[in-house]
Structures are given as C-alpha cells and as structure tokens.
Structure 1
Amino acid sequence: MVFERKKNEAGSSSQSIPIAREDTPLLGQAQQSSQFKTLANIFIAIIGSGVLGLPYSFMRSGWVFGILTLFSVAFLTYYCMLLLVYTRRKLESLNGYSKINSFGDVGFSVCGSFGRFSVDLMIILSQAGFCVSYLIFVSNTLAHLINASSGSEILLGMSRKKWYLWGCLPFQLGLNSIPTLTHLAPLSIFADIVQLGAMGVVLGKDAIVYAQNKPPVQAFGGWSVFFYCVGVCTYAFEGIGMILPLESEAKDKKNFGKTLGLSMGIISLLYATFGALGYFAFGDETKDIITTNIGSGLLSTLVQLGLCINLFFTFPLMMNPVYEVLERRFTEGRYSLWVRWLMVLGVALLALLVPNFADFLSLVGSSVCIALGFVFPALFHLIVFKDEVNWAILGLDGAIIVIGIVLGVSVINTQ
C-alpha cells in the first residue's frame, strides 16, 4: 500500500508530517472541547457567504429541486467528512506515524509529496476563492446602498463597485500583515454572530414580503441547471479543512460523528429555509445576492453593513491557510510579508474580473470544493482501507470519486 511505503519516511522525523495546520490558529492551543463547544465550532467553520447565493440558485433550479439537491450535498459532505476522520484515525494507529493534524498531513501520509501538493493546491484555490466572493459581496453591497441614494454608478470613469473594492485593499493589506491571527479570533466570533443575526433579519423580511406579494414560483427548473445548483450548494458547506482539527479537540471523540451529523442537519434546515423563503419572497426578481432584494430603510442598511463587516474581518482568517501553505513551501515556514501582500492583490484583481456573485460560487463549488469535499476524502479512504473493508464500501468510495469528477467537469463546462 502507498502509505506503508511512506511509513519509514513519515516516522523518521517529527517534521516529516507537515507543518501546515490549515485553520488551526483560530482554535488556539490544543484542548478538549465539550460537545456543545464542538457543535458551535462546526457552525462557525461551515456557515459562510455561500448561503447568500442560495435563493438565486433556487430561483434557477426550482425550490423543490434546490432543496433536494441541498440535502443530498449535505449528506454527501457529512459522509466524506467522516471518511476523512476515519482515515486519519487509521493512519495514526500505525506504528511510527507522527500526529496527523491537517488535511495536508493525510494527503502526505497516503500519497507522499504528490498527495500533499494536491491538497495544498486545492486549499489555496478554495480559500482564495472564498475571499474573492467576500470582496465581490462587500463591493456590490456598498455600491447598491450608496447608488440607491446617489443614482450614479460611474465615478471618474470607473464603476463604484471597483472603487469600493480598491478601497478595501489597503485595509486588507494591513489586516493580512498580522503574523498571528489569534488576536482576530474575537472579531471572528463577532462576525459570525452578526451573520446569524443578519440571516434572521433577512428571513423575517422575506416572510413579510412573501405574505404581501406571493409571487409565482416554480418547483422544478429542469435538469439543465442541476450542475449549477450542485456547485452553489457545495460551496455553501465550506469548512472541510476544519474537521480534523475539530475532531482532535473534541473531548468525546466516540460521539463526534453524531455531533457532526446534528450540526449538518441543523445547518441544512437553516440553509433550505433561507434559500426557499428568499425565492418565495421575490420570485423571478431574486438577485444573485439576496440582501440586495430587501430594499431600503435603516434596518435593511444595518443588515447589509453587518454582513459586509462580517466578511471583511473574515477575509484574513480565511486566507491564513493559504499563507501557511505558501510560507512553508517558499520561506521554510517563516512569516513573509510579500507572500501575503501578493496573494491579497491577486484575490482583489480576480474579484474585479468576476461579473456575478452566484455564478462564481457555483464555479468554485463545482471545482475545488468538490475535489476537497468529495474526491480526496473518498480516494484516501479507498487507498488506506482497500485491504480491510468489503466491496460495498470500496464501491461506494469509487462511486463518490467518479461522481465528484463528473460533477466538477460538468459544472465547469456549463459555466
């Protein structure tokens, strides 16, 4: 087996199993977390900006079709997260293996340097993709709020969206220059509270608008938009890189799967309600960022500004896994200001080129998120357990790999 050939290599030095720890800086020093804290951490790790594109996705796919796709993706994501946990536990049970802290560690243990490179590349693309969507949301929202009162979208030959995006850049360069992001953890918690509160307000607004207007909606939009919907739903369940650190810190590891399943179930219900109610409220007028549908007024403005603050301060936290990977590879793990600034500039330039928020969510979700969330966990599990489990489990692993590749290729071709 591949991991057996790497056994001596991995066990020869504590540095052989990689330095990178993905999202672990937010977790602080390793400690045992209660079941409730583990549940809360899973919420923080998974809920992100992808939820804001669900109403638009449901409009295109139909609300019944969208909900079915959402729950299917949620179950598959949950199953693959468990595969990753089981694979890590198996590898750590082998004599000579050092502690496996991250997704990249699993890739290295199973497939050597190529496995690590593949996981690292997908982590860079996915985390940077999340941050591109954050900048798109912030600039679009600010342009929507201010243009509603000024009526002008062009300023000195450049759209207001681009002005606001460039305006974020100096502040992001400063935030992303902080060597340790532990100091930003309170801001992260505040940002997540703001997002949950804003989602609650949006749901309330949607319910009021639906009760007044009740626009026509469709249950099924046809198979032509299936792959698009899969991409958006996959993106919404971000957080695969956090599962191994969270499981490491869980006090009750035996019941971690149940805690994870409960979290995924609650999040799925929240997502389904948010996506369906947003579509019910605005029908065919549903926009790619649902908050731009909720109109003017003090409450609406505060909600949208709150979400902007949330994503603005989440940006450096989400970029930290990228810095850990790049600094380990190019500066021997040492802090590098130029690496960070170049990545922030690259993300900003890419955000300038993306025309549609929800389309970008689908593209990222269908490519790197499917690879990280489905293909790699099933592949690593298949390689590690191929001599120990029955053909049904191996066949399921193989089916997930094939389905993931087909979905990724199909969605990219439909963009």
Structure 2
Amino acid sequence: MERKDVETNLIPLVKRQPSSTAAAGTRTATTLQTLGNIIVSIVGTGILGLPFAFRIAGWLAGALGVAIAGVATFYCMLLLVECKEKIESEEESQETKSYGDLGYKCLGLTGRYLTEALIFLSQCGGAVAYLVFIGQNLSSIYSGHGFSFVTYILLLVPIQIALSWIKSLSSLAPFSIFADICNVLAMCFVLKDDIEQALGGEFSFSDRKAFTSSIGGLPFAGGMAVFCFEGFGMTLSLENSMREKGGFPKLLAKAFAGITFVYVLFGFSGYMAYGDQTKDIITLNLPKNWSAIAVQIGLCLGLIFTFPVMAHPIHEIVEGKLKNSMWFQKLYYNEDGHDDMMTKFGKFGIIFSRAVIVMMLAGLASFVPGFGMFASLVGSTVCALISFVLPASFHLKLMGRSLNIWQRVLDVFILSCGLLFAAYGTYNTMVGV
C-alpha cells in the first residue's frame, strides 16, 4: 500500500467536532482540485509492476484483471459514500464519518478494530513495498559495486529513522510532490522506451500470449491491479472535501475511467516491448543509459523522502495505543497526564518506538523475494478486504432492508468474490505462479 492513506483514516486519534463545523471547514475543494486529489491518492509506483502482471497473466487476461479491479473498486467507493450519507441522515449531530467510524457503527468495537487493523497492515505493506522497490532499483543501478539488495535496504534505515522523527506531514509535502513528478516522468519515459522497443524490428505480436497456461495468472494480475487502486481509504476524505458534493460520483467515474485506461495501456505496452523478459519492476528493463538511470535514481529519491508519509499512520496507530495504555501513562506522563506534559523519558519512548517500527519494516523488506509478487500479495489480501469485503458488508448491514433483491445479490456477490479472491490470491502468490 502507498502513502495515500493518511491519518484521516485514524478516527480514534482525531478529536470529534460538530458535523456542521467540520463540513463548513472541509468542503472547499473545487472540481479540478478534487480530480487532482483523486489521481494523487490512487496512482503510485504500483503501476510500474503492471507490465510484469501482464506477462504472468497474458495481455488480454491482464487487461481484464485491471478493468474488473477498476470497476469493482469504483462501485465499492460509491457504496462507502452511500453508507456515510445513511449514517449522517440518521444522526445529524454526528460528524462526517470515516472508515473507522463506519466499522464501529456496523459491527461495534470489533468493526473498528478490524478496520484499523487492515489499514495498519495495508500501510505496512505499502511501506515495505517502497523499500523493496528502492532496494531492487539501487542494486540494479550499482550492480558492479558488490552491494546486495538487502544491503541497500539496511543502508536506508538510519535515513528513514531520522525522517520518521519529523512529526509534521506538511514539512514532507514537497518531497511527496517531487515523488509524483518522478512517477509521471518515469511513466512517460517507460512508454517512450516501450514504443521504441516494439518498433525496433524484433517485436512479434504472436509471441505475446493473450492468456498464459497458468490458472493463477488472472488472480495475480487482479492482485497487482487492486494494489494499484489502493487509495480506497481516502474515499470519504475526498468526497468530504469537494465543494459540489453531488458531483463526486460522476467525477470519480471519469477519474477511474481515465486511470484504468492508463493502467491497461501501460501494462500492455510494457509487456509488448519486453515479452517474457519483462521484470517485476519495468524500470529494471530500461537500457543502462544516463536518462534511464536518472529516472530510476529520481524515483528512489522520491520514495526515500515519502516513506515517512507512508509510515506516518503506522506511527499514529502505535502511539495512540501506547498513550491510551495505563502503564505508558504512569511511566511517561507527569501527574496531570496531558500530552504537552509528557516527560523527557516519555518523548524518548515515542522516538524509540518510531525507530523500532522502521527497523522492523526494513527487516521484513529484506526477506521479500520481489516487488511484483509482494505487491500482488498485498493487493490480494488486505487491499481486497478493505476495498471489497468491508464496503459490501457495511452496505448490507446499514441498507439491507431498503435494498432491492438485485442490489442485495450484487453486494453478496462482491462480498463472496472478495473473500475468495483474497484466499486464492494469497495461496497463488505464496506458492508462485
């Protein structure tokens, strides 16, 4: 999962406000600004693994997997918005709900803990994917220097620990913008190289399979696609920020149509260019010239400085649980227990916890065999549960009696397919395709 799921998902860590005040202060984004936020919250480095997914599944199977994931994610986003509007209509005094609040309303504390746990795991998965991406690209660029993939990841640990001590996300915003620019430039450069490669005379369309013989190809491509559409946790924040509330569904539909088309085009062109030689990160297929190396280094630098943004919700969840525990309050707070009265020992404890989290994420990343397999695994498990299973479950719980038979059947179908996809996708990725 990538940096998109920011702290707005972590309702227990946010002070409650009256809904009228919140709405007045948040609905300021224009249609164009909301469109930009949708794109930024969804499109990330996962797109660079799509050509590999097309290689595993076949170009037609890969395109179908991306299209199905895009349509299903869009529909489930609308379900989440509908659930939020249902709750607001019944409880006018309450603030606008987020994912965690929906979980609590539908399933009580179990729903809240489940939702938060899945968000936590998705953020951890995205952070680990960042480190794997950086490690693979650096080991490719500097392959003759004797450093392994694991070595580059471990070298990043001191830098990431220092950056994790920056508590203000606004201070890291310029680095996020830099990473977005690098992503766009990388995609443009890769597309250009793909076209040149395909037109170079060695391309043969007959060698590119529409469907591979592996039955796990389509679920693998679907898992990668779900990972690429992973900005699901930002749905309610995006809808709440839009000035013209009624126009959000149409705007979201247009954004998803464009993003899905770009994803299919990118995956298709990458596989057409390199065929069975397509690597799990398409930038690893680029020629070893200065421009390709500059793109890879730019991507790595961007992710190094946006890793703290991805890890920020993880720190907030852990620190929120620590601050609510009795033993932490006794050891780390002054007698009045206020946060601004935390002792030096308490502040050191928070800093130490952030360092431990970064080291644990780096340790997990060092055991990941490849970016593509890991991204598909994350997409097939926690991202599938967050994007499909929970929204369908919440919709059935809140709207059940008011739904017609076909709507109920569709919700049950999405719920069942999400669970089966998560189970089979996990098995398929773990055993290899």
TM-score (normalised: structure 2): 0.85
Is 1:226 paired with 2:185?
no
Structure 1 position 177, deviation (Å) = 1.2
SS in structure 2 of the partner of residue 373 of structure 1? helix
Identity %: 36
**Aligned AA (1:192):** D
Is 1:252 paired with 2:244?
yes
Determine which of 182, 186, 192 is the counterpart of 2:180.
Answer: 192
SS in structure 2 of the partner of residue 179 of structure 1? coil
* Structure 1 residue ranges without an equivalent (≥5): 1-15, 22-28
Determine which of 39, 50, 55 is the counterpart of 1:54.
Answer: 50
Determine which of 279, 299, 302 is the counterpart of 1:307.
Answer: 299
Residue pair 1:107, 1:119 contacting (<8 A) in 2 also: yes
Determine which of 5, 11, 18 is the counterpart of 2:12.
Answer: 18
* Distance in 2 separating the partners of 1:339 and 1:110: 32
Aligned to 2:407: 393
Aligned to 2:425: 411
* Distance in 1 separating the partners of 2:14 and 2:390: 18
Determine which of 119, 123, 145 is the counterpart of 2:119.
Answer: 123
Judged with a 3 Å threshold, the aligned counterparts in structure 2 of structure 1 residues 316 and 235 are, in CA distance, closer, same or farther, namely same
Determine which of 60, 70, 75 is the counterpart of 1:74.
Answer: 70
Determine which of 208, 226, 229 is the counterpart of 1:217.
Answer: 208
* Distance in 2 separating the partners of 1:244 and 1:98: 15
Aligned to 2:269: 277
SS in structure 2 of the partner of residue 32 of structure 1? coil
**Aligned AA (1:311):** L
RMSD over equivalenced CA pairs, Å: 1.8
Is 1:204 paired with 2:192?
yes
Matches within 5 A, 1:14-413: 18-20=12-14, 30-95=26-91, 98-147=94-143, 150=144, 154-155=146-147, 160-212=148-200, 213-215=202-204, 216-222=207-213, 223-332=215-324, 336-413=350-427
* Distance in 2 separating the partners of 1:339 and 1:382: 39
1:114-161 per-residue CA deviation (whole Å, 9 max, x = no partner) reads: 1110011111111110111110110110110111xx2x5x45xxxx21
* Distance in 2 separating the partners of 1:310 and 1:48: 11
* Distance in 1 separating the partners of 2:155 and 2:253: 41
TM-score (normalised: structure 1): 0.89
**Aligned AA (2:211):** F
Aligned to 1:9: none
1:244-279 per-residue CA deviation (whole Å, 9 max, x = no partner) reads: 111111011101011111111111111111111111
* Distance in 2 separating the partners of 1:351 and 1:114: 30
**Aligned AA (2:156):** C
Q: Post-superposition, which runs of at least 4 consecutive aligned residues in structure 1 deviate over 6 A?
A: none
Structure 1 position 20, deviation (Å) = 4.8
SS in structure 2 of the partner of residue 368 of structure 1? helix
Residue pair 1:64, 1:219 contacting (<8 A) in 2 also: yes
1:50-99 per-residue CA deviation (whole Å, 9 max, x = no partner) reads: 11111011011110110011001100000001111111111111136521
